[in-house]
């Protein structure tokens, strides 16, 4: 379950947006990131963590399980994983700007190697 302060921050800022972010580690202890497109405004940031914005139509955000399942779905879509490839998912913290969005951060361990990803 999410800590009480995290749950309250989500309630307070849902109108601004909530996103999920994953630090993804393969079975051979290599972290993988997505490569950004060259046409983005910030050209200094070439790589990013996997994740996405939680849309009320996609995720109810009423429980930790809803948010975690959304994160898994993002990984399945963005990397092409299967649910069975995700062996461990751990909530590690929250990014809270209080003015814009808040992010729920996960550490994700995969059962597959970096070469397979």
The C-alpha angle 102, 106, 109, rounded to 5 degrees, equals 160
Q: What is the mean pLDDT of residues 90-106?
A: 83
Residue 9 has pLDDT above 80, yes or no: no
Indicate the domain borders of the chain: 4-110
Beta partners for 50?
A: 22
Q: CB-based contacts of 96: which residues, under 8 Å, 6+ apart?
A: 9, 13, 102, 103
Residue 61 has pLDDT above 90, yes or no: no
pLDDT at position 111, please? 95
* Superfamily holding 4-110: Nucleoside Triphosphate Pyrophosphohydrolase (3.90.79.10)
Residue 104 has pLDDT above 50, yes or no: yes
Q: How many CB atoms lie within 10 A of CB 64?
A: 15
pLDDT at position 35, please? 81
pLDDT at position 85, please? 92
Coil, strand or helix at 55 = coil
Residue 43 has pLDDT above 70, yes or no: no
Tell me: the pLDDT tens digits for 78-92? 888 898 999 989 999
Of 38 and 73, more confident: 73
pLDDT at position 16, please? 60
Look up the pTM and report it: 0.75
């Amino acid at each position: 379950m999410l800590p009480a302060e995290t749950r309250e921050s989500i309630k307070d800022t849902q109108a601004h947006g909530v996103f999920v972010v994953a630090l993804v580690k393969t079975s051979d202890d290599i972290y993988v990131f997505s490569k950004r497109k060259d046409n983005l405004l910030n050209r200094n940031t070439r790589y990013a963590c996997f994740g996405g914005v939680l849309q009320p139509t996609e995720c109810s955000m009423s429980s930790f399980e809803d948010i975690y399942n959304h994160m898994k779905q993002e990984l399945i879509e963005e990397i092409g994983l299967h649910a069975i490839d995700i062996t461990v998912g751990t909530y590690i913290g929250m990014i809270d700007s209080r003015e814009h969005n808040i992010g729920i951060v996960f550490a994700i361990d995969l059962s597959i190697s970096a070469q397979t990803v």
